[in-house]
Amino acid sequence: MQKLYMIMAIGAALQLTTQGAPVTAPISGICNTPHCLQTATNILKDMQATADPCVDFSQFACGGFNAREKLAPGEKKNGYLVSIDQQNIDVIRSIVTPGDRKGPIIAKGDAISRRNLKKLQSYYGACMDNSQLTKVGRKPLQDEIRKLNKLFPITNNIPTNGNRTVLSPANRQALSKLWGYNMKHGFETPIAWDLWDDETNPGYKMLTAQQSGLGLKDDTLYKDEKLVKLYEKVIGEMFYIVQGNGNPQKLGAAVPKVWQQIGKDVVAFEKILAGVETVAASVPKRKKRADGAGAETDPTDPAEETGEGEGEGEEEGGEDEDDDDFTIVWDKISDLDEATPSLDWTVIFKTAFPADVPLPENINMLWKFYFRRLETALETLPLQTTQNYFAWTLMRNLGGNLAEPLQRPLSELKKALSPGENTVTSGRWKNCVQMVNENLGDLAGHFFVKATFPKESQAIMNEMIGSLRWSFEKSFWNYDWLDPRTRQAALQKLKAIVPKMGFSTSSPDVGSSASVDEYYRPLVINRRDHFGNQVRSSTWKMETMLRGMAQPSNQIKLASIPQTVNAFYNPNMNSIEILAGILRAPFFDAAVPEYLNYAGIGVVAAHELGHAFDNSGRRYDETGAIREWWDESSIQEFDEKSKCFIEQYNEYTIDGPDGKKHNVNGWGTLGENIADNGGLKIAYNAWNQRQKDTKHNNKKLPGLDKYTPEQLFFIQYARAHCGNMTPEESVKMLNDDNHSPKKWRINGVVQNSDHFAKAFQCKAGAPMNPIKKCILL
C-alpha cells in the first residue's frame, strides 16, 4: 500500500499545478489492481503536468518521457514502438535459447512441440556457434561460388561494335541457367521477383519484377565518392579472404592489385544498374503492343540515359520514368527477352520454378528503365566482370554466415551504411534472432503467441473491432457531403472488411503445434551447419513463394509473422491486420480500463479501417479491385476536404541538424493524416458509447483520479507516440516516411478534435483548439 499512497500523493500535488483540467464528476471507483497501479505510475512518469494541454498537448502528455528517455550514443530514435519491438525480441530469444528460465515449458509426452522447439533452438544454436563457424571457415561460401563458376564458365566471347559484347549462344544459356539457379535458391540477382496482390483480379497474385542487386541499396549513394571507394575496398578484401589467401587481420594495403581491381570492376557494373554510368545499350525500341501498352522512348538515345536537358540524377519525374511504369500492364516472357536480349527467360524460369508449377503467362515489369540498365551492363562489360559481380553478390548476402573475422569487411560496410547500429560482433545474438524471425518466423511465432497472446485478448480485440465498425457506420450517416449511392457503397465496403487478429490460422495455423510442424517439415535444420541452414531456408522460402503463384490468394493468412510490431490495411484484400506483436502496453492491456485500450490499440485499429477510405484506399472497392465507385460530386467534396489537411500539415515543422526548420509534406503524408484524424474520432465515439454501459471497466487510475476518463483517453493516445529522434533521422523520415513526425501525430490530430477541446476545456482559438478544423472521416 505504501506505493499506492505515494502515487496518490503525486496526483494530489499535480492537481495544484495542472492547467486546463475541468472539474471532474464524482469518482465512481478507482482501479487498484497491480496492472492499474503500474499503468498509473507509467502515465505519470511520461507526463509533464505543469505544461498547458491546450497550448502543447504533446509536451503535456510526453514531456516526462522525452526528458527521461534520452537517446543513447549512436541511437537514432526511441519510443514505445521501439521498446515493444525489443521486448518481443527478448521473448524470441528466451524461446530459442535452451535452458532459458523464461522459455517454453513442454508438457510431458508432447512430441510435436518438443520437435518444433528443437528445430528453433538448433537453428539459433548453429547461428551462435562461432567455434563451429571458425572450424568450417570459408569453405561453404567457396563451394557456392564454385557452383556459380561451373554454371557460367566464360567461353567464346564475341566482341562487336567496338567495346560491346554479344554473348555467344552457349554463354547466353549458361548465364541464364546461373540466373535461374540463383532465383531458385533465393539468392539475390539484379531483378527481384515477388508475388503481389493482383489489383485487376482480386484473390490472385501477380509475379512482379523489381530493381535489385545493389550493394549500396540506394542509387544516389553511388555518387558519394568516399563511400564508393570504401565499397570497392570492401569488395576487394572479401574476394581476397574468400577466393585468395587473405588474412582478415591484415588487410587494407596488403590486398593484391588483382583483387582491388575486381572491386572496381564490380562497382562499375553496379553503377550502371544504379544509373550513374551513362553508356547506352543497343536494346531495340519497344513496339506498341496490341494490349494497349505504349511504346517506350528509345533507349539508344544518349539523352535517355544521361538525363540531358532533364537535370542530373533520377529525381521524381526524371528521365528514367516511363509513362507506363506505374500502371499495371501485363508483360509476357517474350517481353522480358526483348528487354534483355542477353538473357533467355524461358531457361531462367524453367531452372528456377518447381517442375510442377507452370511458367508465368502474365508478368508485371516494374520500372522498365531498369531492364535497359541491366542490358547495358551485360553488353558493355567483360563477362569476367559479370561473373565476379555474381560472386560478389553471393559474398555480400551469404558472407554474414561465416565466422566473425571472415566477415569483418562486411561489418565495416554495414557500419558505414548504418552508423550507430550494432555490428555483427556486438550484436550477434540479435542478428541470430532476426534470422530466426526471417526463416522460421511462424514457428517461433507459435511459442510467442502462447507466451503473450491469451485467448481472452483475442476475444477483447474482436469485440473492439465490432464497436469500431459500428462507430464508423454511424459516422458515414452523418457525412452530409456523401451522396446516397457512394454512402451505400462505402457502408458495403465497411461491412466487407475482414479483420485478422493476432496471427495466421492458415498456412500455417500458428496456434497449432501440429500445423506449424507440418508447414516447416520440408525445411531441414542442422545444429552444426549454420551456412547450410541459411541456404536451405532461402531455397525453401523461394519455392513456397513460387508455388503460391499458381494458386488463389490465401484470404485468411496474415502478411507478417505474429511477433511483428505492426498493424495495417490491405486494400487488395479489403482487410485489416493487427498483429500480436503490437498488443502490448501502452497500446493494449486486457487488465486496465477500457478507455486506455480504446485510446491505444483502438485508435490503431480505427486508423487502419480509415485507410479503406483515405485518398488511396478509397480507389479500391469492397472486393479489393481498383475501380471508381464514388460519385463525382463526392470525389470533389473529398478532395476539397483533403486540401484542408494538406495545408494544415504543410505548416508544421521540425528542427534539422542544420539548425533550420524543415516543413512536413502535407501531400505526401495525406493518407496517414486522414487515418490518424479519423481513427481518433472513430475510436473515441466507440468507447464513449460503451462507457454508458456500467458493465465495462472504466474506473479511474490511482494518482490520476483528478483526470476524467475522457482526458485520460487523449493522454493515452498521445503516449503511444512519445519518443525522441535525432535531427538527422527526423529529416530523413520527412523524406522516407509517409507518416507525420510524432509531435504532429499528437498535436495535429487533437487540434482537429472537438472532443479533445471539450475534455480539456480549451478556449476557442487556443493553439490546440483553433477556429478552423480539418474534418473528413
Which H or E run contains 225? helix 225-242
The C-alpha angle 151, 398, 548, rounded to 5 degrees, equals 75
- The per-type count for the chain, helices as H runs and strands as E runs, is 30, 10
More confident residue, 113 or 217: 113
Q: Beta strand pairing status for 567-570 and 575-579?
A: antiparallel
545: nearest Cα among 182, 194, 185, 209: 194
Q: Is residue 74 part of a domain?
A: no
The C-alpha angle 125, 127, 131, rounded to 5 degrees, equals 85
Domain CATH for 388 = 1.10.1380.10
- 8 Å CB contact between 540 and 593: no
pLDDT reported for residue 361: 85
Q: What are phi and psi of 411, to 5 degrees?
A: -65, -35
Residue 570, C-alpha cell as written in the block: 490491405
Overall average pLDDT of the 115-128 stretch: 97
**Alpha carbons 158 and 268: distance in angstroms, whole number:** 21
**Alpha carbons 695 and 693: distance in angstroms, whole number:** 6
Residue 362, C-alpha cell as written in the block: 502474365
Would you call 397 helix, strand, or coil by DSSP?
helix
pLDDT digits (tens, 9 = 90+) for 69-84: 999 888 889 999 999 9
Q: How confident is the model at residue 67 (pLDDT cuts 50, 70, 90)?
A: very high
Q: Is residue 635 part of a domain?
A: no
pLDDT reported for residue 14: 32
448: nearest Cα among 502, 515, 499: 502
pLDDT reported for residue 424: 40
Cis check: omega of the bond before 508, within 30 degrees of 0:
yes
pLDDT over 70 (residue 442): yes
149: nearest Cα among 188, 180, 175: 175
Amino acid at 269: F
pLDDT reported for residue 645: 95
Q: What average pLDDT does the chain have?
A: 86
- 8 Å CB contact between 329 and 162: no
Residue 744, C-alpha cell as written in the block: 504532429
Q: Is residue 337 part of a domain?
A: yes
Residue 284, C-alpha cell as written in the block: 531495340
Overall average pLDDT of the 206-216 stretch: 91
Question: CA 398 → CA 169, 530, 534, 696, distances in Å?
Answer: 30, 11, 8, 54
pLDDT over 90 (residue 293): no
Q: Is residue 666 part of a domain?
A: no
DSSP state of 769: B
Question: CA 279 → CA 218, 231, 376, distances in Å?
Answer: 20, 22, 7
Q: Is residue 469 part of a domain?
A: no
More confident residue, 742 or 24: 742
Q: Which residues are CB-contacts of 619 (< 8 A; sequence separation ≥ 6)?
A: 571, 626, 627, 628
Overall average pLDDT of the 89-114 stretch: 94
**Alpha carbons 617 and 324: distance in angstroms, whole number:** 21
The C-alpha angle 130, 132, 137, rounded to 5 degrees, equals 90
**Alpha carbons 319 and 297: distance in angstroms, whole number:** 10
- 8 Å CB contact between 561 and 444: yes
pLDDT reported for residue 554: 79
Three-class secondary structure assignment of 181-205: HHHHCCCCCCEEEEEEECCCCCCCE
**Alpha carbons 442 and 548: distance in angstroms, whole number:** 17
pLDDT over 80 (residue 96): yes
pLDDT reported for residue 418: 80
* Residue whose entry in the numeric block shows the C-alpha cell 496456434: 511
pLDDT digits (tens, 9 = 90+) for 133-187: 999 999 999 999 999 999 998 764 444 444 445 678 888 999 999 999 999 999 9
Amino acid at 725: M
Output the pTM of the full model.
0.85
pLDDT reported for residue 299: 36
DSSP state of 573: T
Residue 306, C-alpha cell as written in the block: 544521361
Overall average pLDDT of the 512-519 stretch: 97
Q: Which of 186-190, 427-431, 631-635 has the lowest mean pLDDT?
A: 427-431
pLDDT over 80 (residue 20): no
pLDDT reported for residue 280: 52
pLDDT over 90 (residue 549): no
pLDDT over 80 (residue 326): no
DSSP state of 714: H
191-197, strands of its sheet edge to edge: 191-197, 205-211, 363-365
Host domain of residue 298: 133-419
Overall average pLDDT of the 444-451 stretch: 96
DSSP assignment of 428-477 equals HHHHHHHHHHHHSHHHHHHHHHHHH--HHHHHHHHHHHHHHHHHHHHHHH
Overall average pLDDT of the 308-318 stretch: 33
pLDDT reported for residue 4: 34
More confident residue, 17 or 220: 220
pLDDT reported for residue 336: 92
575-579, strands of its sheet edge to edge: 498-502, 575-579, 567-570
Instruction: Count how many domains the chain has.
Output: 1
Residue 16, C-alpha cell as written in the block: 495544484
Residue 395, C-alpha cell as written in the block: 559474398
Q: In angstroms, what is the C-alpha Rg of the chain?
A: 28
Q: Is residue 210 part of a domain?
A: yes
pLDDT reported for residue 328: 55
Q: Is residue 376 part of a domain?
A: yes
pLDDT over 70 (residue 443): yes
Residue 470, C-alpha cell as written in the block: 459500428
pLDDT reported for residue 165: 56
- 8 Å CB contact between 685 and 475: yes
- 8 Å CB contact between 255 and 236: yes
Sign of CA dihedral 563, 568, 569, 572: negative
Overall average pLDDT of the 407-418 stretch: 90
Q: Exposed, middle or buried, 187 (CB in 10 Å: 0-12/13-18/19+)? A: buried
**Alpha carbons 160 and 166: distance in angstroms, whole number:** 7
Q: How confident is the model at residue 331 (pLDDT cuts 50, 70, 90)?
A: confident
Q: Is residue 110 part of a domain?
A: no
DSSP state of 602: I
Question: CA 664 → CA 291, 652, 661, 725, distances in Å?
Answer: 41, 6, 10, 15
pLDDT digits (tens, 9 = 90+) for 681-695: 999 999 999 988 778
pLDDT digits (tens, 9 = 90+) for 462-508: 999 999 999 999 999 989 899 999 999 999 999 999 999 999 999 99
**Alpha carbons 491 and 480: distance in angstroms, whole number:** 14
DSSP state of 340: -
Overall average pLDDT of the 557-574 stretch: 92
pLDDT reported for residue 636: 94
